[in-house]
């Protein structure tokens, strides 16, 4: 069976989203069952995945991958992206899993697009449109349902889980906004690859990669490799490749499979409690992506 370009794009972005979601569940297994140290996994994941992505970039771009280190502005940008953007998105997400679960962590991080939208509204010094207000309202409602289950006097997740979940959303927003110019100049593989390596080196001062904490069995190799290779390198590369066949708005919509896959696998394989109100909160937050993506499509056609 020969797939057309559109079908290839859909399969690629769905594979990326599902791998990202399952990776969160596998990370939860490493933290809560095998007692892996969150900081250690962050360091090793960034260094290993960054190196693999740079090798992929070298295969495609050759020695151009090193040119990003020639100009002061690019050097400063990639250092900030690695030290703040990459760590801000990666570590905070893993920390949220540690204090809650993969499903909640992934959904809370999906507040990032609403924060990005709010940032650009403030930057433009204008009033938000009805669609933007609706999207942000859905994001806030979904978060409220997810963390309180509708009871304003209590939290359905730990305070630490809520804190790191909100920080991870801001981390994702920063990760999205800060490297825009770098991405235009150098492309995603080079920027993200070097960003991960920089982030891994910086985080090595917090927790060196040679100081392992946890339990390691033969089966642990597969879980660890899935997080690094499938959940990071293959997922990211597949998502990028899908952009050759689909529009950015289409890939954003299909990427909503990530929190759904994280929730389903966490419930099915780790026994995470995820009731109807959690699903409702999840759908509200995912509605944010749908609304914002719809807005982009309309603005392009006008």
pLDDT of residue 225: 95
pLDDT of residue 302: 34
**Residue written as token pair 């999207």:** 135
pLDDT of residue 110: 86
Which of 43-52, 114-123, 199-208 has the least mean pLDDT? 114-123
Write down the mean pLDDT value for the chain.
88
Which tens digits make up the pLDDT trace of 8-42? Answer: 888 888 899 899 999 999 999 999 999 999 999 99
Q: Report helix angle 276-301 to 257-270, nearest 10.
A: 160
pLDDT of residue 298: 41
CB 257 within 8 A of CB 18: yes
pLDDT at residue 291 greater than cutoff 50: yes
pLDDT, average across residues 272-277: 86
Per the model's pLDDT, the better-predicted residue between 73 and 249 turns out to be 73
φ, ψ dihedrals at 158, nearest 5°: -65, 155
Percentage of residues of the chain with pLDDT beyond 90: 52
- Give Cβ neighbours of residue 64 (< 8 Å, ≥ 6 apart): 190
Smallest Cα–Cα separation from 234: which of 1, 3, 20?
Answer: 20
CB environment 253-291: b (16+ within 10 A), e (fewer): bbbbbbbbbbbbbbbeebebebeeebbebbbbbbbbbeb
């Amino acid at each position: 069976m020969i797939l057309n370009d559109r079908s290839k794009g859909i399969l690629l972005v769905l594979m990326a989203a599902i791998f990202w979601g399952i990776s969160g569940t596998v990370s939860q297994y490493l933290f809560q069952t095998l007692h892996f140290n969150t900081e250690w996994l962050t360091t090793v994941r960034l260094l290993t995945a960054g190196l693999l992505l740079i090798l992929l970039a070298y295969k495609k771009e050759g020695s151009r991958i090193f040119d990003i280190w020639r100009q002061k502005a690019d050097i400063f940008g990639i250092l900030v992206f690695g030290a703040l953007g990459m760590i801000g998105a990666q570590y905070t997400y893993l920390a949220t899993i540690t204090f809650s679960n993969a499903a909640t962590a992934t959904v809370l991080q999906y507040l990032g697009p609403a924060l990005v939208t709010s940032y650009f509204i403030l930057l433009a010094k204008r009033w938000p449109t009805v669609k933007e207000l609706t999207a942000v309202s859905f994001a806030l409602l979904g978060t409220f349902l997810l963390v309180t289950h509708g009871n304003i006097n209590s939290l359905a997740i730990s305070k630490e889980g809520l804190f790191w979940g909100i920080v991870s959303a801001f981390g994702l927003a920063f990760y999205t906004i800060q490297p825009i110019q770098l991405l235009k100049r150098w492309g995603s593989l080079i920027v993200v690859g070097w960003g991960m390596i920089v982030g891994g080196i910086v985080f090595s001062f917090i927790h060196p990669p040679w100081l392992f904490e946890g339990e390691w069995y033969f089966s642990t190799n597969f879980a660890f490799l899935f997080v690094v290779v499938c959940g990071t390198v293959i997922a990211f590369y597949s998502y990028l490749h899908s952009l050759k066949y689909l529009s950015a708005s289409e890939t954003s919509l299909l990427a909503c499979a990530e929190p759904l896959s994280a929730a389903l696998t966490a419930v099915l394989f780790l026994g995470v409690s995820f009731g109807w109100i959690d699903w409702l909160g999840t759908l509200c937050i995912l509605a944010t992506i749908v609304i914002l993506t719809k807005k982009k499509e309309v603005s392009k056609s006008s």
